[in-house]
Amino acid sequence: MSNTDNSSVPMDDESEVGNENATTKSTKVGDKRKSEYWNHFWDFRDPVTKKIVQVKCKYCEKMLTGNTNNGTSSLKKHLGACSKYPPNVDKKQKLISVYKSPESDATIVSNWKFDETACRLGLARMVIVDEQPFSIVEREGFRYFCSVAVPQFHIPSRFTVARDVKNIFVCESGKLKKLIGCLKSRVSLTTDCWTSIQNFNYLCLTAHFIDDNWKLHKRILNFQLMDSHKGKEIGKVVEACILKWEIEDRLFSLTVDNASSNDVAVGYLKTHFHDKLVLEGSFFHMRCACHVLNLIVKDGLSSVKSSIARIRAAVRYVRSSPSRAKLFAHSSMLVKVSCKGSVCLDVATRWNSTFLMLETALKFEKAFNRFAEDDPDFSRELKDGVPTQEDWVNAKVLSLCLKLFYESTKKMSGSLYVTTNLYFHEVLEVLSCLIEWENSTNMDIRIMGRQMREKFDKYYGDLGKTNIMMLVAVVLDPRYKLRFLKYSFKKLYPNDFAKVDVICDNLYDNVQKLFNHYDAIIASSSSKNNRNINVANVDNGSENLSSSNSEQMKKFYDDFDEEESDFIVEKSELDYYLEEARERRVEGEMFDILGWWKEKSDKYKVLSTLAKDILAIPISTVSSESAFSTSGRILDQFRSSLGPNMVEALVCTQDWLRASNVCIDIERFLEDVQKYEEELDGSDTGITQPSFWALQPSFWASSLSSWKPPEMVGPRHSESNSESPFFATELRRWEALLLRGRQLHFYASLVA
């Protein structure tokens, strides 16, 4: 887009000139002024000959000699030098700019003037962060906006934008590499494998670390194309990424889900980085806690599947047509259901959506009972019958059960706060509830509790199978320490104190090993006397006396030092930390554990270094998945032209620029689907009303391809009324629904 395209100014009336002979542009036939420069001047004509004799600049009002026969060189020259011509003003004059920093919420006030390079980088950043296609620069609306907002900006081509995106990727990766290289702490990793709708396999490698200012960071390092999901291949891809980022000497842990291929991959990495890992990689492998919870819940739901199935069928029936939904709303009104909204259908393979379905359905229990009276087809069409009173009782109990797992999953999948010290407490809470359910008077709940307990014991029954780092994290929480773990184990094994002693002794030994390992590393840069605290703290002055030339006196004092050392008890930081009083625990209050260790880092130099590495461990791989609540859309069919390198550049750079996590908000997505379907109830899109919570990408892909614009759907949309206001409104509505449908298809590809 040229500058001349953007240089138009508001039209002026003849009255603004103050001269009745002035005109903005001649309307006489034969006037052949075609140059754009004439639009920036008022012309003055001879009253007799009607020829232009002078022109006046619309900006500075300077008078110039003007004649259509003499060309426009003088006009062009004046515009280039005019101090009040807007493009010239923008180039020379600095303006006050007030904006929010992209890195924080701070408001920044600064001088601003047009910068072509800065505009291009800003455009590329917008494409990355807002996930816009490169072709946005070719869209009419965007080009018009630029012509109004920044008329002097030369809009680049989509190929130039793509190159700018790659340049930002290279620049930001260099910054991140430098940041990680300067760290004094180690890096923990999470991996997860993704498959795009084009059946390409991608591996997402995410780094988690705490910087020198005790701030927790999460950064996606790679979004790498893979040839297969085999364990060894995954290991090789991760190894290549680690070597590329030069963090092989900084590795601490790797969190993966429970797939057998991941066990092979972890074994491969431990073999190749054996001598670079802490304690030779004894605690390198971390299992995803959220994945374990998911397996436990799935086993338990099978025992109450009949109650869930009847409630699901009832919800599906109500949502199957607009007329039924309307009648159900009327039934809800009659029984005075105070809940706003409507019931929602779950996805049978996702227990969290089942929890949401039961939670909302319970609020409409009376409405379902009344609906059975108002609609005689309701009980006839449900082959397993309508929900019984027992089903609703089971649903209430099951909803409470699932709520526990739901909240635990949300809590443990965070990546903006420390989760390592939460692990043991969440496991204790789950175990406590499982024991309660096993003793329930309700047979279905009792069976469910037993099935869940069996799966729980498979992963957590033997604490030897649990990564010891999860227990060390509790020790490093100043509110609990080792004393809390001893107390907890005594409650867990009240009849086997010998086992409690074995577990606690093993735990202390491992904590001591870790402390000694870090102590040895720090010893190379600091004196042992500065790290350890002597109870006696004796200064016997032997150094001065030992300088005596008398060998006999020297031996005398050396013997004294040796004998006295038997009575001096030297305590380490670990001993002092464990003996020190615990911090007071306040129920419901978020404890800033990183802030506590930052404050105590001078007192506990070794322990604080250990804490920095352990508290950075993510206990779930969900943190790497959560970055794709938006960027995952890149992998759908609408971006199928993107190559693997560009996909990686967009995914990684978006994460780096945001420098924070954008979690998948499934509930919000499901609410969007509900509102969307309510809109569909009154629209004529040419498709059958889908079951609510249709989260499968295949549904959206097939449905969207079958939608037709209004003029092709019903008899009311004939050619004779195609230009009617009603039709125009319907067309705009259809286009809006189609766009929203595509957006929901993007989300469906993430959560399915």
Computed from CA positions of residues 433, 434, 436, 437, in that sequence, does the dihedral angle turn out positive or negative? positive
**Exposure of 216 in the CB half-sphere (CA atoms within 13 A):** 24
Residue 32: the pLDDT is 55
Rounded CA-CA distance 14/310 in Å is 78
pLDDT category, 219, cuts 50, 70, 90?
very high
Check pLDDT > 80 for residue 194: no
So what's the pLDDT on residue 14? 33
Please provide the DSSP assignment of 393-415 as one string: HHHHHHHHHHHHHHHHHHHHT-S
What mean pLDDT do residues 196-215 have? 86
Residue 103's pLDDT is 60
423 touches 225 (CB < 8 A):
no
Question: Taking 80 as the threshold, does the pLDDT of residue 123 lie above it?
Answer: yes
Among candidate residues 14, 68, 10, 3, the one with its CA nearest the CA of residue 42: 14
Which DSSP symbol is given to 460?
I
Percent of the chain with pLDDT over 90: 32
Of all residues in the chain, what percent carry a pLDDT higher than 70? 72
The stretches of 439-550 forming alpha helices (DSSP H) are 443-456, 469-475, 481-492, 497-523, 528-531, 542-545
Residue positions counted in the chain: 752
Confidence of residue 473 (pLDDT cuts 50, 70, 90): very high
Residue 33 identity (one-letter amino acid): R
DSSP conformation letters of 17-53: TT-TTEESS--STT-----GGGGGEEEEE-TTT--EE
User: For residues 251 and 189, is the Cβ–Cβ distance under 8 A?
Assistant: yes
- Per-domain residue ranges of the chain: 3-91, 94-282+621-664, 294-476, 508-614, 666-751
Q: What is the dihedral of CA 516, 520, 525, 530, to 10 degrees?
A: 40
Q: Identify the CA nearest to 661 among candidates 618, 612, 613.
A: 618
pLDDT score recorded for residue 176: 94
**Token digits of residue 109:** 């006030």
pLDDT band at 370 (very low <50, low <70, confident <90, very high): very high
Q: What is the residue whose two structure tokens read 């979004």?
A: 223
Average pLDDT for 641-655:
84
The one-character DSSP state at 275 is G
Those residues with Cβ within 8 angstroms of residue 167's Cβ, 6 or more apart along the chain or in another chain: 124
Instruction: Pick 25 or 237 by higher pLDDT.
Output: 237
Mean per-residue pLDDT, 80-84: 81
Closest Cα to residue 593, out of 702, 479, 713, 436?
479
Helices (H) and strands (E) in the chain, counts: 32, 13
pLDDT band at 86 (very low <50, low <70, confident <90, very high): confident
Q: Which of 397, 402, 405, 408 is nearest to 443 (CA)?
A: 397
Please list, residue by residue across 365-388, b when 16 or more beta carbons sit within 10 angstroms of its beta carbon and e when fewer do: bebbebbbeebeebeeebeeebbe
The mean pLDDT value of the chain amounts to: 77
CA–CA dist 529, 519 (Å, integer): 12
Q: What is the pLDDT of residue 622?
A: 67
Distance between CA atoms of residues 163 and 106, nearest Å: 30
**Cα separation values, 171 from 177, 219, 648, Å:** 10, 15, 14
Higher pLDDT pick, 456 / 728: 456
Pairwise pLDDT comparison (512 vs 621), residue with the higher score: 512
Which pairs from 526-529 meet CB under 8 Å and 24+ separation? 526/605
Q: Which band of pLDDT confidence, cut at 50, 70 and 90, is reported for residue 35?
A: confident
Question: Is residue 328 scored above 50 in pLDDT?
Answer: yes
For the chain, the maximum distance between any two Cα atoms, rounded to a whole number of angstroms, is 130
Q: Does residue 594 come out as left (phi exceeding 0), alpha (psi in the -120 to 50 range) or beta?
A: alpha
| Long-range contacts (CB closer than 8 Å, 24 or more residues apart) made by 691-694 | 691/316, 691/319, 691/320, 691/345, 692/315, 692/316, 692/319, 692/343, 692/344, 692/345, 693/344, 693/345, 693/346, 693/347, 693/353, 693/357, 694/748
Q: Report the pLDDT value the prediction gives residue 731, as an integer from 0 to 100.
A: 55
pLDDT of residue 93: 55
Per-residue pLDDT tens for 661-705?
Answer: 444 343 444 444 445 445 444 444 443 333 333 444 444 445 545
DSSP secondary structure of 290-352: HHHHHHHHHHHHGGGHHHHHHHHHHHHHHHTSHHHHHHHHHHHHHTT----S------TT-HH
State yes or no: pLDDT of 527 exceeds 70. Answer: no
AA letter at 603: K
- Torsion, Cα 516 522 526 528, to 10 degrees, reads 0
Per the model's pLDDT, the better-predicted residue between 707 and 4 turns out to be 707
How do residues 390-439 score in pLDDT, each as one tens digit? Answer: 889 888 888 888 888 888 888 888 878 899 999 999 999 999 999 988 88
**pLDDT value for 45:** 86
Please say whether the beta carbons of 64 and 41 come within 8 A. yes
- The pair of three-digit structure tokens given for residue 368, joined into one six-digit string: 């379902």
pLDDT value for 13 = 35
pLDDT at 85: 80
Q: Is the pLDDT of residue 376 over 90?
A: no
d(CA 462, CA 499): 11
DSSP 8-state assignment for residue 137: G
pLDDT tens sequence across 561-620: 776 655 555 788 999 999 999 999 888 788 999 999 999 999 999 999 999 999 999 998
Give the three-class secondary structure for 429: helix
Task: Check if the beta carbon of residue 179 is closer than 8 Å to that of residue 187.
Answer: no
pTM greater than 0.85 = no
**Each residue's pLDDT tens digit, 254-284:** 999 888 888 999 999 999 999 999 998 989 9
pLDDT category at 179 given cuts 50, 70, 90 is: very high
Query: For the CA atoms of the chain, what is the radius of gyration?
Result: 36
Edge-to-edge strands, sheet with 63-65: 22-23, 41-45, 52-57, 63-65
